[in-house]
């Protein structure tokens, strides 16, 4: 099985974290990289043909606050109407529209909530990476230190895997839904 996690940046000028999680039996192998343009992201998704893609960004935007963001406020979620978040929400909504056109299955997630719920979150990225390794994940995180964007993409891919496996829950309503791990 193949799952993709994306930590989408608001602007293509900034780094977007991309993670491919390949699950074969008990092995969970991560391949991570940084991307920029929407076309790069879409091409990488198409090339890897995932069972599910999880995106850390608002994927719906109607110019108002969303219930799902309010519910996850304790995890640090911000309203989609804040200026920086609005830019991200508009990009996420466009990306979701493109994924719909090609029939790609995707979910919206919040990486920080996933990290906290699963017990991986830490202010120190090195500590997070050590926890991910201790959990049995392999691949690129064994070879080098990942960036913050790549770590959030890993959390997104893990959320996709857990959702596919029925170990998640949905928060939100008509204006947007975010998938989080269920423990």
pTM over 0.85: yes
Considering the domain boundaries, does residue 97 fall inside one?
yes
How many Cβ atoms sit within 10 Å of the Cβ of residue 103? Answer: 6
Q: What CATH number does the domain containing 77 carry?
A: 3.30.420.10
Residue 84 has pLDDT above 90, yes or no: no
176: left (phi over 0), alpha (psi -120 to 50) or beta: left
Residue 112 lies in a domain: yes
For residue 75, what are the domain limits?
Answer: 2-177
The whole-number pLDDT of residue 79 equals 86
Mean pLDDT of the chain: 96
For residue 32, the surrounding DSSP H or E stretch is strand 27-35
Distance from CA of residue 182 to its chain's centroid?
A: 16
**d(C-alpha 18, C-alpha 153), whole Å:** 5
- Give the per-residue pLDDT at 64: 87
Number of structural domains found in the chain: 1
Q: Is residue 182 part of a domain?
A: no
- Residue 50's pLDDT is what? 98
Say if 142 falls within a structural domain.
Answer: yes
Residue 37 has pLDDT above 90, yes or no: yes
The phi, psi pair for 178, rounded to 5°, reads -115, 135
**C-alpha span between 11 and 34 (Å, rounded):** 13
> Residue 49: which residues within 8 A CB-CB, separation 6 or more?
2
* 90 within domain boundaries: yes
């Amino acid at each position: 099985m193949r799952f993709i996690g994306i930590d989408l940046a608001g602007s293509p000028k900034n780094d977007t974290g991309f993670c491919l999680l390949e699950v074969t039996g008990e092995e969970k192998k991560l391949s991570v990289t940084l991307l920029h343009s929407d076309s790069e992201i879409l091409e990488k998704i198409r090339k890897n043909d995932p069972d599910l893609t999880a995106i850390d960004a608002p994927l719906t935007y109607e110019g108002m606050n969303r219930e799902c963001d309010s519910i996850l406020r304790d995890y640090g979620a911000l309203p989609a109407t804040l200026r920086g978040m609005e830019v991200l929400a508009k990009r996420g909504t466009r990306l979701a529209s493109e994924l719909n056109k090609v029939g790609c299955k995707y979910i919206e997630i919040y990486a920080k909530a996933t990290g906290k719920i699963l017990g991986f979150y830490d202010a120190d990225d090195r500590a997070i990476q050590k926890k991910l390794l201790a959990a049995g994940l392999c691949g690129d995180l064994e070879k080098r230190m990942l960036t913050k964007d790549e770590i959030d993409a890993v959390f997104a891919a893990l959320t996709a895997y857990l959702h596919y496996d029925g170990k998640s829950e949905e928060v939100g309503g008509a204006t947007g839904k975010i998938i989080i791990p269920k423990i």
